[in-house]
């Protein structure tokens, strides 16, 4: 610890320690990046092809199509699934804006669903209510559901897929935060017909900028996504559908290939850190309970307290970073209010937004640091 004349300044604890990861992986990342620079295959080069094969292999899917970011992954998958004006796509209200934004960008209408108070993922019972409401009101045709694996924990896919089948709706998993996670039924990527992930730097598997991918078991969907990421061109040079320019750079693929080599181990150390937090905090705070069959990727470890702001201040005073994901559910944001029914309509999302506090979490967190975070929290309770 650094010492000043008057008081001790605690070593800052970051939310995600990318420097520690870089120090551990520097050599293997540099050598892969240098190979790209030497070859010059910057766009859709060899590392992109290799990464797509390895992502599909890791997740156990037939295909992985890399794209420029997790938001484009959602939009491209939706376009490939034929989403557009007149369609209702059900999304949780407690998620990042991209989930609903991608729906709106296709011209379709996002319909907000409340979350479950324990899992913080889409509540299948409320989903049923919202589907019935859209059908009753008329004007929109229910077309799809986007469950979000919030904070890295897979959503309740068995219940949601059951409903989707009964109602003939497509399911697209927003796994921006959960690549590497699993349920009893399988790994993320295998839990829904199509899945999107993000490689934003702070995600469990992150690159040095923006990146994303679509994972699917369905060859026709994979092909459509591949065309859409390159202006809709098929391999014969025919533009089949109006598409995007949304490719993952070879340099980013090189970074991801290096990080994928240690990803299983990092998932294990994240689980260990979550267990340390749970041991110390669960008697005094609401910690993220996991049913034994779920395996989170622990993108975020968030506790809940009605005194969240006091706790956050106490952490800040102790030099510990924390974050609030998300301060408001989407139906209370100006851009999305028109799709929702206002304050009070989605009570669980609204309450959780006032209670969540994300603590430092990454694959290089040691027990002493976890202890320091927990001590600061427990003293402030
Ligand atoms: C739930 C969710 N969906 C989508 C995205 C979008 O991913 P990206 O930032 O790579 O566009 C994010 C990223 O933060 C996310 O958390």
Averaged pLDDT score across all residues of the chain:
96
Average confidence (pLDDT) over 342-361: 98
Determine what percent of the chain is predicted with pLDDT higher than 90: 96
Tens-place pLDDT, residues 107-132: 999 999 999 999 999 999 999 999 99
What residues pair up with 356 in beta bridges, in sequence order?
304
Task: Return contacts of 52-59, CB within 8 angstroms, 24+ apart.
Answer: 52/213, 54/257, 54/260, 55/213, 55/215, 55/260, 56/189, 56/215, 58/180, 58/187, 58/189, 58/260, 58/263, 59/179, 59/187, 59/188, 59/189, 59/190, 59/195, 59/215
Q: What is the pLDDT of residue 337?
A: 98
pTM (2 d.p.): 0.97
CATH number for the domain harbouring residue 317: 3.90.1150.10
67 lines ligand 1 (CB under 6 A): no
- Number of compact structural domains in the chain: 2
Judge if 226 and 310 occupy the same domain.
no
71 lines ligand 1 (CB under 6 A): yes
The domain of 267 spans 263-380
Q: Which of 210, 239, 260 is the last residue of a domain?
A: 260
Judge if 133 and 246 occupy the same domain.
yes
Q: Within a domain: residue 11?
A: no
66 lines ligand 1 (CB under 6 A): no
Nearest atom (ligand 1) to Cα of 98? 4
Pocket mutation for ligand 1, best pick of 176, 199, 302, 324 (most atoms within 8 Å of C-beta): 176
294 lines ligand 1 (CB under 6 A): no
Q: What is the pLDDT of residue 107?
A: 98
The pLDDT of residue 87 is above 60 = yes
Selected residue with higher pLDDT from 148 and 6: 148
Q: What is the pLDDT of residue 295?
A: 96
Q: How far, in Å, from the CA of 43 to the mean position of ligand 1?
A: 22
Q: How far, in Å, from the CA of 213 to the mean position of ligand 1?
A: 11
Tens-place pLDDT, residues 176-193: 999 999 999 999 999 999
Nearest atom (ligand 1) to Cα of 102? 4
147 lines ligand 1 (CB under 6 A): no
Judge if 253 and 268 occupy the same domain.
no
Contact 119, 96 (CB under 8 A): no
Judge if 225 and 288 occupy the same domain.
no
Tens-place pLDDT, residues 262-306: 999 999 999 999 999 999 999 999 999 887 789 999 999 999 999
Average confidence (pLDDT) over 78-91: 98
Tens-place pLDDT, residues 198-235: 999 999 999 999 999 999 999 999 999 999 999 999 99
21 lines ligand 1 (CB under 6 A): no
pLDDT band at 1 (very low <50, low <70, confident <90, very high): very low
pLDDT band at 6 (very low <50, low <70, confident <90, very high): low
Judge if 247 and 273 occupy the same domain.
no
């Amino acid at each position: 610890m650094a010492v000043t004349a008057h008081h001790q300044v605690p070593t800052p604890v970051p939310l995600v320690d990318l420097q520690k990861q870089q120090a551990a992986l520097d050599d293997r990342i540099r050598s892969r990046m240098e190979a790209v620079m030497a070859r010059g295959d910057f766009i859709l080069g060899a590392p992109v092809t290799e990464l797509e094969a390895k992502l599909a292999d890791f997740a156990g899917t037939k295909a992985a199509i890399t794209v420029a970011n997790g938001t484009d992954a959602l939009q491209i998958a939706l376009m490939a699934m034929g989403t557009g004006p007149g369609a209702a796509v059900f999304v949780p209200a407690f998620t990042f804006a991209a989930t609903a934004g991608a729906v709106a960008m296709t011209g379709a209408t996002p319909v907000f669903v409340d979350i479950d108070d324990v899992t913080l993922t889409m509540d299948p019972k409320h989903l049923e209510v919202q589907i019935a409401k859209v059908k009753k009101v008329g004007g929109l045709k229910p077309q799809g559901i986007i469950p979000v694996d919030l904070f890295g924990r897979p959503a309740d896919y068995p219940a949601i897929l059951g409903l989707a089948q009964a109602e003939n709706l497509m399911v697209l998993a927003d796994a921006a935060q959960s690549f590497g996670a699993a349920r009893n039924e399988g790994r993320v990527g295998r839990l829904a017909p199509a899945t999107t992930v993000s490689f934003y730097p702070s995600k469990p598997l992150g690159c040095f900028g923006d990146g994303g991918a679509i994972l699917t078991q369905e060859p026709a969907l994979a092909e459509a996504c591949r065309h859409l990421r390159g202006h809709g061109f098929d391999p014969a040079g025919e533009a089949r559908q109006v598409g995007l320019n949304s490719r993952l750079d070879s340099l980013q693929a090189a970074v991801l290939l290096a990080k994928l080599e240690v990803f299983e181990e990092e998932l294990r150390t994240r689980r260990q850190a979550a267990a340390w937090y749970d041991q110390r905090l669960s008697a005094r705070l609401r910690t993220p309970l996991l049913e034994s069959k779920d395996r989170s990727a622990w993108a975020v470890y968030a506790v809940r307290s009605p005194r969240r702001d006091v706790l956050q201040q106490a952490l800040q005073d102790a030099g510990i970073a924390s974050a609030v994901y998300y301060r408001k559910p989407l139906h209370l944001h100006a851009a999305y209010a028109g799709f929702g029914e206002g304050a009070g309509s989605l009570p669980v999302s609204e309450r959780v937004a006032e209670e969540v506090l994300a603590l430092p979490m990454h694959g290089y967190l040691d027990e002493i640091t976890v202890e320091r975070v927990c001590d600061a929290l427990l003293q402030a309770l």
